[in-house]
A and B are shown apart, each in its own frame.
Chain A
Amino acid sequence: MPKTAVWLIIIFTLLFILGINTGDIEYLNNLGNTICLSCIGVG
């Protein structure tokens, strides 16, 4: 097992959990449920 990869997996998993605990899921859900006008090219 490559140690670097294992450490990276652990670090990014912790970052993901941090995101969940700081309310990122709600933010992401609200974002995804809105039509992205920038993607469409309005403006």
Chain B
Amino acid sequence: MARLRTLVQTLVAFGTNAYLLFPFGGSIIYQGPLKAVCHPGLNCYSCPGALLSCPVGAFQNFMASIRFYTPGAVPHIGAIVIGYLGFIGAIVGRLPCGWLCPFGFIQDLLHKIPSRKLSLWAPLRWVKYGVLALLVIILPLFLVDSSTGLGHPWFCKLLCPSGTLLGALPMILLKPSLWATLGFYFWNKMTILVILVILAIFVSRPFCRILCPLGAFYSLFSRMTLVQLEFIEGNCVECGSCSRKCPMGVKPQSEYDSKECIMCLKCLDACQFRALQFGIRRPPAPQKKRTVSPL
């Protein structure tokens, strides 16, 4: 399963960033019909190779441009993005974080670098809900630039390390004229990126666990997803091998319906006693079986 996941992550990361004509085309980025489709993971649409749009960036821009008082204008509330992400979330929860997100894949690779591995202080996982509410919804919606009458995508502007790594760095290399315009926001994001890259070597998926607003959104569905990772209590010998393998610090035997589970299924591989099963959600049978979905 681990090999399959790595293969899927590699194919998705390269497949959705496969626009190789950027050095030769008129524009540095891909401009075509596929940009009307959002990536299920966090993937900056200003990446020169990106074929799809970033759902978080798109949603912020929808929020930033809602102006209810504009006469005659139809406000775009981002229904297409909410519908798209909600549809995915309702079926598989945070599975895209574990299998499809390019930035999650990069963190997985960084964590393979041999070093002392550290655990994360659990309450930090709540920060991402604040990021989702404040930087993705509230500030873009209410903090309006008086000169343009629009809000700004504050998550992209202040925090997004995927934007820095996949968008900003390739872009300033390809377009050196941008150097002169870089200021506080760029260096702030570069600092965050460097911290997260170093942290990812020692702590598994720090960005996903602490800051990612997309993961926060998907996690809202954790108790209601169509598929689930079911914990069969009778088969569990409490060896703890599933907890040790979990990249998100989840303890499947005690944390039912964890919002942190990215359905990477490493725990399924680790369990030799078939105490975990992946499939369509079933009503829990008291005493014998309890749901862990999405683990």
Residues of A within 8 A of B (CB): 1-2, 4-6, 8-9, 11-20, 22-29, 31-33, 35-36, 38-43
Assembly CA distance A3 to B183 (angstroms): 51
Assembly CA distance A39 to B167 (angstroms): 7
Residue of B nearest to A25 (CB): B36
CB distance from B64 to the nearest CB of A (A): 10
Q: Given contacts A15-B83, A22-B76, could you give 13 more A-B pairs where the C-beta distance is less than 8 Å?
A: A2-B281, A5-B90, A5-B226, A19-B83, A24-B80, A24-B81, A26-B36, A28-B36, A31-B57, A32-B53, A33-B32, A39-B164, A40-B172
In the assembled complex, B7 has its CB within 8 A of some CB on chain A? no
Q: Are B35 and A18 in contact (CB under 8 A)?
A: no
A-B pairs with beta carbons under 8 A, tally: 160
In the assembled complex, B182 has its CB within 8 A of some CB on chain A? yes
Q: Are B225 and A40 in contact (CB under 8 A)?
A: no
Residue of B nearest to A8 (CB): B90
Assembly CA distance A20 to B76 (angstroms): 11
Residue of B nearest to A36 (CB): B46
CB distance from B39 to the nearest CB of A (A): 10
By size class, the interface of chain B is 35 or more
Contacts of B57 in A (CB 8 A): 31, 36, 39
Contacts of B86 in A (CB 8 A): 8, 11-12, 15
A38-B156 contact given A11-B86, A32-B36, CB 8 Å threshold: yes
A5-B153 contact given A28-B38, A33-B31, A42-B181, CB 8 Å threshold: no
Q: Are A8 and B84 in contact (CB under 8 A)?
A: no
Assembly CA distance A38 to B157 (angstroms): 5
CB distance from A32 to the nearest CB of B (A): 3
Assembly CA distance A9 to B96 (angstroms): 16
Interface of B is mostly: helix
Residues of B within 8 A of A (CB): 27-29, 31-33, 35-36, 38, 44-46, 52-53, 57-58, 61-62, 74, 76, 78-84, 86-87, 89-91, 152-153, 156-157, 160, 163-164, 167-168, 171-172, 178, 181-183, 185-190, 221, 224-226, 280-283
Contacts of B76 in A (CB 8 A): 22-24, 27
Q: Are B163 and A39 in contact (CB under 8 A)?
A: yes
Assembly CA distance A8 to B153 (angstroms): 27
Contacts of B58 in A (CB 8 A): 28, 31-32
Q: Are A9 and B87 in contact (CB under 8 A)?
A: yes
Residue of B nearest to A22 (CB): B74
Q: Which 4 A-B pairs have the closest CB atoms?
A: A19-B80, A32-B35, A16-B83, A41-B186
Assembly CA distance A23 to B226 (angstroms): 30
Q: Are B46 and A40 in contact (CB under 8 A)?
A: yes
